[in-house]
Amino acid sequence: METYRVRIDNTQFGSLMAWVRSVDEGFVAYLSGTEYPEIPLTQAPPGEPLAGSVEEAVEQLRRALNRSAD
Protein backbone atom coordinates (compact mmCIF):
# COMPACT_ATOMS: atom_id res chain seq x y z
CA MET A 1 0.00 0.00 0.00
CA GLU A 2 1.42 3.38 -1.04
CA THR A 3 0.47 6.71 0.50
CA TYR A 4 0.87 10.10 -1.16
CA ARG A 5 0.67 13.58 0.37
CA VAL A 6 -1.21 15.91 -1.97
CA ARG A 7 -2.42 19.49 -2.06
CA ILE A 8 -6.06 20.08 -3.01
CA ASP A 9 -6.71 23.57 -4.36
CA ASN A 10 -9.98 25.35 -5.06
CA THR A 11 -12.15 23.95 -2.31
CA GLN A 12 -14.54 26.20 -0.44
CA PHE A 13 -12.18 25.73 2.52
CA GLY A 14 -9.24 27.05 0.49
CA SER A 15 -6.20 24.89 -0.27
CA LEU A 16 -5.81 21.79 1.91
CA MET A 17 -3.25 19.07 2.31
CA ALA A 18 -4.65 15.55 2.08
CA TRP A 19 -3.54 11.95 1.77
CA VAL A 20 -4.14 9.53 -1.09
CA ARG A 21 -3.70 5.85 -0.28
CA SER A 22 -3.55 3.00 -2.74
CA VAL A 23 -5.83 0.11 -1.91
CA ASP A 24 -6.40 -3.19 -3.70
CA GLU A 25 -9.14 -1.80 -5.96
CA GLY A 26 -7.83 1.74 -6.59
CA PHE A 27 -7.08 4.92 -4.66
CA VAL A 28 -8.79 6.70 -1.75
CA ALA A 29 -8.22 10.34 -0.76
CA TYR A 30 -8.90 11.62 2.74
CA LEU A 31 -8.17 14.43 5.15
CA SER A 32 -6.42 14.01 8.46
CA GLY A 33 -8.83 14.94 11.25
CA THR A 34 -5.94 15.99 13.48
CA GLU A 35 -4.59 18.52 11.00
CA TYR A 36 -7.97 20.02 10.15
CA PRO A 37 -10.10 19.64 13.31
CA GLU A 38 -12.63 22.18 11.99
CA ILE A 39 -13.37 19.96 8.97
CA PRO A 40 -14.88 16.53 9.59
CA LEU A 41 -12.78 13.57 8.52
CA THR A 42 -13.79 13.02 4.90
CA GLN A 43 -13.19 10.07 2.65
CA ALA A 44 -14.04 10.62 -0.98
CA PRO A 45 -16.93 10.04 -1.61
CA PRO A 46 -19.29 7.42 -0.20
CA GLY A 47 -21.12 5.41 -2.83
CA GLU A 48 -18.82 6.21 -5.74
CA PRO A 49 -16.40 3.69 -7.22
CA LEU A 50 -12.82 3.98 -6.08
CA ALA A 51 -10.61 6.24 -8.14
CA GLY A 52 -8.31 4.69 -10.69
CA SER A 53 -5.50 7.21 -10.12
CA VAL A 54 -4.13 9.64 -7.55
CA GLU A 55 -5.45 12.56 -9.60
CA GLU A 56 -8.95 11.08 -9.77
CA ALA A 57 -8.94 10.47 -6.01
CA VAL A 58 -7.99 14.12 -5.40
CA GLU A 59 -10.82 15.29 -7.67
CA GLN A 60 -13.31 13.03 -5.85
CA LEU A 61 -12.27 14.50 -2.50
CA ARG A 62 -12.51 18.05 -3.86
CA ARG A 63 -16.08 17.36 -5.01
CA ALA A 64 -16.97 15.77 -1.65
CA LEU A 65 -15.59 18.76 0.26
CA ASN A 66 -17.47 21.24 -1.88
CA ARG A 67 -20.72 19.26 -1.45
CA SER A 68 -20.26 18.97 2.33
CA ALA A 69 -20.62 22.71 2.87
CA ASP A 70 -23.90 23.06 0.98
The CA distance from 30 to 42, in Å, is 6
Reported confidence tier of residue 20, pLDDT bands at 50, 70, 90? very high
Of the candidates 40, 49, 48, 44, which has an alpha carbon nearest to the alpha carbon of residue 64?
A: 44
Q: Is the pTM of this model over 0.75?
A: yes
The CA distance from 2 to 70, in Å, is 32
Mean pLDDT, range 37-61, rounded to an integer: 82
Element containing residue 66 per DSSP (H, E): helix 54-68
Instruction: Please give the pLDDT value at position 5.
Output: 93
Of the candidates 33, 37, 46, 38, which has an alpha carbon nearest to the alpha carbon of residue 18?
A: 33
